[in-house]
Chains A and B, each alone.
Chain A
């Protein structure tokens, strides 16, 4: 059974927010309808609906500090806690590809799902009072009018460092499954039993590897700079005595 998901490589994410706004621009005009509202767009405390946000935080103490950019959107859990709590059946998980969606027509904006979601991935459209979230760009990934390599979520296409992979995590041969297996891809808070489909690839470090021996080389170019003092043949030498 297919389970589509994003795999996000924290080793190359530079926190540029390309995924944040490319998601917004695709989905606000998306097939789901209704748009993605912005409140106080030009005033005090602007806020709005985004399906995907980048959180930046620091780990460790100076100077051993890591700055981590952490993009987060709906994780399309295999056991999504947002679905059973929905009183109207608006929140559902698709059998065919595992995408968790909201039927806006059925949603009454009661927010049960956002309380149930341990990841804070749901966003209430404050104007329409409808719960919205990442759809994995369901309205473009199956669009056969697009070239095949462009049938991916907008955030994946936008990402300049290719930190976002998209595919079927149930297919062991897919690029996402291979990346998870080879790079130690992990889920967020697996202890909650939600079995998020999205995974993250951890940072990995290449350490300096300077071999002191490598500093001592017969071909050190400084040797070429040694000047042999010119010695006169007029100086006394053994040749004056030996025969």
Chain B
């Protein structure tokens, strides 16, 4: 929408990208310069509000850290020095296409594409697949994959893009661990409304900042112990009978009978009474309950049947069986509140009270919405019922090596309380719920990677059993990051955090070309940053770089760009087309699918080019089948043309955008390409929102109407019920393989014990892995980072306004830490882990659990990076904790390397690190350590700004900053 108002100001709509939230914005332009960016009141996601970052988009658009032309490393310069010379796009494309063509013709896996951004995976993933390389992932592996995997493998959906807390109906809201980092404005809007309506909020977090600040109750917890707390609460919920029995019976696998015959090959598997008519990625309804009245097994969901949830039974043939709920009950039996107190630091009485509060609120404050719906078994319901207890969690739970099982425990607790896709609890967002696990699978053998051929399967998928793993005949990994191997079988987002180390070491093999898009792997996106920087420039015995060719696409002068051989300058978000696609991570609401777009409101600066255009161009030059016709001629003019005309299969009617499909734009979700689709989005606030009938908006795992609608609109392949996996047979299948019981793929001997231990069908608590490998007495403190609300990772130190809010960071700790170690508030201290040490400034605080120290993430910068002056606070007083967080576990046997990650999913265990803190010497006071040589400016960047800057939109001074460089 473009509107003219007074004073020659023009207003254009697009979508924000100052973080991953994707709010609608209206951008005011004067004389072609941005004057004001406000929240779009007609946008469903942010409803007119905007955050500190969104309001500072102007300072990103005109940041002197912008790159404006393709650059190649000077012939005589060493990697990392940051010495570049400008080249043309023609030269850049020729270089890349020649190199990539050769790799694709010979060994496609020698090319790796890894992206910091994961909301563009539909295109980047397609590119990797078409190239034929398995070595592709976005940043999820070092972000929150445990949250996605732990929840999706349990309830068929997860927090953040695919679901969230329904605070509109909730009465009690429990936020566990740091969760400010995702879904920021919508959650803030809902939190404000929730509190004004009298809801009660509990924050369980080692630190009281952010949203926890406004919680009615703050419960400090020791980092990495969330699983212990959740299991103890679950135990109390079960033992007090506070679970929603009706929900557990009808919508979970709790009553389903598990074979308990230890001599049987089927031990631990569900009993099945017949072979399903159709095989597919769904749970066939062929399992058994033990009926209370008939006192015998009966087919699940038989009308009138009422199963036992607990107990022990014998089939006619003597097979002992138990409902899986019984196994859960036995599992949590020893997880008493008293036991959890010793681990979490939360008093047992508080843990019990939490359980009672959750259970009683869920049971006694039920919501009944007058919405009729029909379940997949044909039962008609007059109401949608809700138990108004909502939860939210993100990286605080996820970024531990025990995160997957903790999140399984959370999902199970939410399910026992009867809160899944119900009002006041957890709600799904399209395209979720999906089957457990979802259907897409990766290739599963090395032969699936073939020269000049697209990859079999997708680069990132959802293993359902060991045969889905992507390993060779010895059980060893095919991917560079060892994803989908026995080391990290459910690494559904890959392990980007191990790519550089693995490629440098040549384990499992070496890469030729690594293309990094928008990820600051030489700084805050890597663990063990100092060593990773060395690996990036390390050479072999022949004097060749161990990672031979490094391409970085970024809009800004990040630390990573300094290590590039070739830099591709990306545009800002205000200069490009973009889609938040239903094929990827759309911005759906609880009431139906929503996708959205960005439409350029400014011309491209300098020689910048959107990364999407780079991929389309390369895909066309390399003659990928998806990008060329049968004569090898280019299919798509450019990215907007691709978005309109690409279909997932010829004639499928499914493309990147779900709105205004069909020749006349009258179809939704599915329909032939519409040449005017962009115009329709432009006219409609850059988004398409399909509001479903109320009867489809709840209970979607089992809602016949919804599932049929989802199937006919291509959101899901099967309209089958998605029962909650209290007991995960999927996990048990991996354990059986490790035990040598099952046929099919087997783990290598060295990994059998590990897989057997962690692939437990029921959640269990174990200490973070690194704790088992270090002297905890020597490193008594946990160290955490959080993302401040006014900064998005490393992106905003270049932002003249935002950096005035966070120009440097302290290490926050309880005063007792200083008292014990002989330093005062404000002293410079060393923070040391088993991996190394950094120097920073101590700040005492009463709002942190005394066994924890914490800091803001990614405020510290390398000298000169992001076009900051060499003595900027970010590099002199700010620090980066990443230097002392290992990307691999410490103290491993010679030659063995394991990622410092969750052993199920490969989620980077950022928050497992343990440290000691002690005063720096008098000589060392006053500045941070480590320091790096100042990163120079590159050709094409704006001139240094100097001491003063006054922005007045429309003056043209800022718009012209990049001219005459």
Chain A interface residues (CB < 8 Å from chain B): 11-18, 20-22, 24-26, 28-29, 34-48, 50, 58, 60-63, 65-69, 127, 143, 145-146, 149-150, 154, 157-163, 203, 205-208, 210-211, 214-215, 217, 220-225, 227, 230
Give the CA-CA distance A36 to B306 in the complex, in Å.
Answer: 70
Smallest CB separation, B914 vs chain A (Å) = 20
B275-326 CB contacts (< 8 Å) to partner A: 292, 295, 306, 308-311
Contact assessment for B213 and A15 in the assembled complex, using a CB-CB cutoff below 8 Å: yes
Q: Is the CB of A58 within 8 A of B847?
A: yes
Complex Cα–Cα for A116 and B219 (A): 42
Interface pairs (10), CB distance under 8 Å: A17-B51, A18-B55, A29-B35, A43-B872, A157-B49, A158-B50, A210-B353, A215-B242, A217-B241, A220-B241
Could you tell me if B36 and A58 are in contact, using CB atoms closer than 8 angstroms?
Answer: no
**With A21-B52, A158-B50 as contacts: A41 and B214 at CB distance below 8 Å:** no
CB within 8 A of B873: which of A46, A50, A225? A46
Is B952 within 8 A of A48, CB to CB? no
- The distance from the CB of A168 to the nearest CB of chain B, in whole angstroms, is 21
Contact A21 B56 (CB under 8 A): yes
How far does the alpha carbon of A227 sit from the alpha carbon of B872 in the complex, in Å?
A: 72
In the complex, what's the smallest C-beta–C-beta distance from A32 to chain B, in angstroms? 11
Residue from B52, B195, B309, B807 within 8 A of A18 (CB atoms): B52
Q: Quick check: is B831 within 8 A (CB to CB) of the other chain? A: no
A35 touches B292 (CB 8 A): no
B932-965 near A? 1/0 per residue, CB < 8 Å: 0000000000001101111111100000000000
Check if A63 sits within 8 Å of B218, measured CB to CB. yes
Task: Verify A230–B50 contact, CB threshold 8 A.
Answer: no
Give the distance in Å from the alpha carbon of A45 to the alpha carbon of B805 in the complex. Answer: 11
B801 within 8 A of A: yes
Whether A46 and B804, one on each chain, are in contact in the complex, defined by CB atoms closer than 8 angstroms, is yes
Is the beta-carbon distance between A42 and B876 smaller than 8 angstroms?
no
Q: How far is the CA of A149 from the CA of B948 in the complex (A)?
A: 36
Q: Which of B189, B847, B947 contacts A39 (CB 8 A)?
A: B947
Please count how many residues in chain B sit with their CB below 8 Å of the partner chain's CB atoms.
97
CA of A129 to CA of B715, assembled, Å: 61
How far is the CB of B69 from the nearest CB of chain A, in Å?
Answer: 20
Residue of A nearest to B791 (CB): A17
B residues less than 8 Å from A29 (CB atoms): 30, 35-36, 951-954
Interface hub of A58, A68, A127, A145 (most chain B Cβ within 10 A):
A58
**B52 and A46 contacting across the interface, CB-CB below 8 Å:** no
* A208 and B357 contact, Cβ closer than 8 Å, known pairs A21-B801, A29-B35, A67-B208: yes
Complex Cα–Cα for A95 and B393 (A): 50
Tell me which of A40, A43, A143, A208 contacts B353 (CB under 8 A): A208
Quick check: A21 and B802 within 8 Å, CB to CB? yes
Q: Decide: B55 and A22 in contact? CB cutoff 8 A.
A: yes
Which chain A residues lie closer than 8 Å to B310 at the CB level? 222, 225
CA A37 to CA B948, docked complex, whole Å: 7
Identify the stretch in B37-45, B467-475, B533-541, B735-743 within 8 Å (CB) of chain A at 4 or more residues: B37-45
- The complex places the Cα of A44 from the Cα of B951 at a distance, in Å, of 19
Check B947 against A40 for contact (C-beta < 8 Å). yes
B212 at the interface (CB under 8 A from A): yes
Stretch in B95-103, B137-145, B196-204, B717-725 touching the partner? B196-204
Q: Nearest Cβ in chain B — how far from A147, in angstroms?
A: 8
Among candidates A35, A36, A46, A214, residue contacting B803 with C-beta atoms closer than 8 Å: A46
Q: Known A206-B216, A215-B356; judge A14-B191 contact (CB<8 A).
A: yes
Q: A42-B800, A43-B947, A65-B847 are in contact. Are A158 and B49 (CB under 8 A)?
A: yes
Of residues B51, B198, B242, B353, which shows the largest number of chain A Cβ atoms within 10 Å of its Cβ? B51
Q: Which residues of B contact A208 (CB under 8 A)?
A: 200, 217, 353, 357
User: Is B871 close to A, CB under 8 A?
Assistant: yes
Question: Which chain B residue has the least Cβ–Cβ distance from A149?
Answer: B41
B446 beta carbon closer than 8 Å to chain A: no
Complex contact B847–A41 (CB within 8 A): no
Max chain B CB contacts within 10 Å: which of A20, A203, A221?
Answer: A221
Q: How far is the CA of A221 from the CA of B5 in the complex (A)?
A: 64
Collect the chain B residues with CB atoms within 8 Å of residue A50's CB.
Answer: 804
- Using CB atoms, name the residue of chain A closest to B187: A160
User: Residues of A contacting B804 with CB < 8 Å?
Assistant: 38, 46-48, 50
Q: A21-B55, A65-B208, A222-B241 are in contact. Are A43 and B195 (CB under 8 A)?
A: no
CB distance from B385 to the nearest CB of A (A): 15
Whether, in the assembled complex, B447 has its beta carbon less than 8 Å from a beta carbon of chain A, the answer is no
- Within the complex, the shortest CB–CB distance from B91 to chain A, in Å, comes to 31
Cβ contact within 8 Å between A15 and B949: no
Contact yes or no, A206 B199, CB < 8 A: yes
Q: What separation, in Å, do the CA atoms of A217 and B944 have in the docked complex?
A: 72
Provided the pairs A37-B950, A62-B846, A221-B245 are in contact, do residues A160 and B185 lie with their beta carbons within 8 angstroms? yes
**Minimum-distance CB pairs A-B, first 6:** A161-B192, A160-B188, A221-B245, A41-B800, A220-B241, A17-B52
CB contacts (< 8 Å) of B849 on chain A: these are 62-63
| Residue B126 interfacial (CB < 8 Å) | no
Q: How far is the CA of A17 from the CA of B191 in the complex (A)?
A: 16
Contacts of A66 in B (CB 8 A): 208, 213
- B48 interfacial by beta-carbon distance below 8 Å: yes
Which of A16, A25, A29, A230 has most B Cβ within 10 Å?
A25
Q: CA–CA, A61 to B814, complex, Å? A: 10
- Shortest C-beta distance, B742 to chain A (Å), equals 32
Q: Is B132 an interface residue (CB 8 A)?
A: no
Contact of A158 among B38, B191, B214, B308 (CB under 8 A): B38
Cβ 8 A contact of B360, one of A62, A63, A214: A214
A42-B64, A214-B364 as given contacts; A145 in contact with B188, CB under 8 Å: no
- Chain B residues closer than 8 Å to A43, beta-carbon distance: 868-869, 871-872, 947
A49 to chain B, nearest CB (A): 9
> Could you list 10 further interchain pairs (A-B, Cβ under 8 angstroms) beyond the known A41-B949, A160-B192, A225-B311?
A20-B805, A38-B801, A65-B846, A65-B847, A143-B6, A161-B188, A206-B200, A210-B357, A214-B364, A215-B240
